[in-house]
Amino acid sequence: MDTINKIRPATLEEAFELRPAQNIKEISLYESRMNNGTAHHSNQDYFIPGAVSTELEQDKVWQEFDSSLQSIEVHQENKSIEEKPYEYKPFIEANTQEVNLYQLKNDCIIPVFSKDNEKTIAHQEFIDITQDCISKVFSHQSFMQPEIRVSHQIKGRTPDAIYKNAKDLLDHERTQYFERMAFIIRIPGITDSINGNELSLTVGGVRAYNQENLYNKKTFEKFKFFIGFQNKVCCNLCVWSDGFVDDMRVSSYQELQSKIMNTLTEYNAQQHLLEMKEFSDHYLTEHQFAQLLGRTRLYQHISKTEKQRLNIPQLTFNDSQLNTIAKDYYEDESFCKADNGEINLWNVYNLFTQANKSSYIDTFLDRNLNAFDFIKGIQQALNGNSDYHWFLS
């Protein structure tokens, strides 16, 4: 892939260092669009939630942000990050197709709220805003071009083709947009390793117009956004609650950028990695894994009342995905069981995130987070302290 914002390799301390506020042009990509008379926030507002009034307080926040990520390795790579040492696999499959930014910007119309004809924040604008935020927070890092997956194509035609049969339409007479879009942007210079798997820092988001009421007047628009890691072996995403916002409601470009910046700066990568590394220290026997899968199948058919009575935590994976997990327990090259039937929780976690690739875009990130919470609960159950003991009993 092509790269953008390519800068010299960073030191560990520089990797998560924010630029001084006075050196950053605020909302540089979108100033021209914000003509509603609203005053701009200060630069500090985009990096620190809440008011930070003194330079000493700002320095304290910068130090806390840097220190939370000291365990992450920042590679001083001599080779181009365009090289791919791992087999390429899409981060989501299901019914999606891959597109690029050029196609979104030039081949797709932009939906509007029908009652007032106000435009939505388009898919490509969401991606552009995210890239702008990454370039500010990780100013010393190179990052990859976004990988974009779309689904649920909405077709239309131009007025001059109103009487034509569909098969007779010319290319310029067709219109389209995609109801659902997911993207990720990799930051390959910031990596760590778990159980022999290299993980790369990754940022991404989801936009699903089916969760908007486009038949009404313009109101708050909904986005999903995350910062986490991607397992390079399988391209599975690792999403954690502190780096995920599942209902980011905004009314403007400015508000969207502000909330993305807050999520990026508040994310504790060190803690996220530590909790995932602990998975590899816990094992399920073949009997326990079979018990786990059996219980997950029963879960699909238990009434809501019974789940509440037994205090069973939520599991959002469906039967088809559980079938995939059972199959991969025996057949997956990277995460299958050991010869004695045992499997560590890191591998189980990756079996779940691998099965999640069959999810539709609008449920993809939610299920990815549920996979982490579920395996974390199983880990606690093995230690004798968790509501998840039902799945192993």
Helical H segments across 190-285, by residue range: 253-266, 269-279
Q: What pTM value is reported for the model?
A: 0.80
Which residue spans within 90-173 are E strands per DSSP? Answer: 97-99, 112-113, 118-119, 143-144, 147-157
pLDDT exceeds 50 at position 218: yes
Q: What is the mean pLDDT of residues 60-77?
A: 52
Q: Helix, strand, or coil here: 246?
A: strand
Q: Cα separation of 158 and 160, whole Å?
A: 6
Tens digit of each residue's pLDDT (9 = 90 or more) over 127-139: 999 999 999 999 9
Using 50, 70 and 90 to split pLDDT, how confident is the model at 65?
low
Mean pLDDT, the chain, integer? 83
pLDDT above 70 for 20: no
Tokens at residue 371, please? 């996979």
CA distance 24 to 14: 16
Give the tens place of pLDDT for each residue, 177-212: 999 999 999 999 999 999 999 999 999 999 999 999
pLDDT at 66: 54
Cα–Cα distance measured from residue 159 to residue 167, given in angstroms and rounded to the nearest whole number:
16
Cβ neighbours of 295 (radius 10 Å): 17
| Cα 51–chain centre separation | 28
Radius of gyration of the chain measured on its C-alpha atoms: 23
The C-alpha atoms of residue 54 and residue 37 are separated, in whole angstroms, by 28
Tell me which range, 34-43, 75-84, 177-186, is most confidently predicted by mean pLDDT: 177-186
**Average of per-residue pLDDT across 260-273:** 96
Of 300, 302, 284, 393, which is closest to residue 348 (Cα–Cα)? 284
Contact, 296 vs 288, CB < 8 A?
A: no
The Cβ of residue 195 has, within 10 Å, a number of other Cβ atoms equal to 17
Residues 6 or more apart in contact with residue 258 via CB below 8 angstroms: 41, 45, 46
**Half-sphere exposure of residue 203: CA atoms within 13 angstroms, side-chain side:** 26
pLDDT confidence of residue 215: 87
* Tokens describing residue 224: 């999903």
For residues 35 and 119, what is the distance between their CA atoms, to the nearest angstrom? 15
Question: How far apart are the C-alpha atoms of 236 and 255, rounded to whole Å?
Answer: 30
On whether the CB atoms of residues 377 and 343 are closer than 8 A, the answer is no
- In this prediction, residue 314 has a pLDDT band, given cuts at 50, 70 and 90, of very high
**Tokens coding 164:** 């034509």
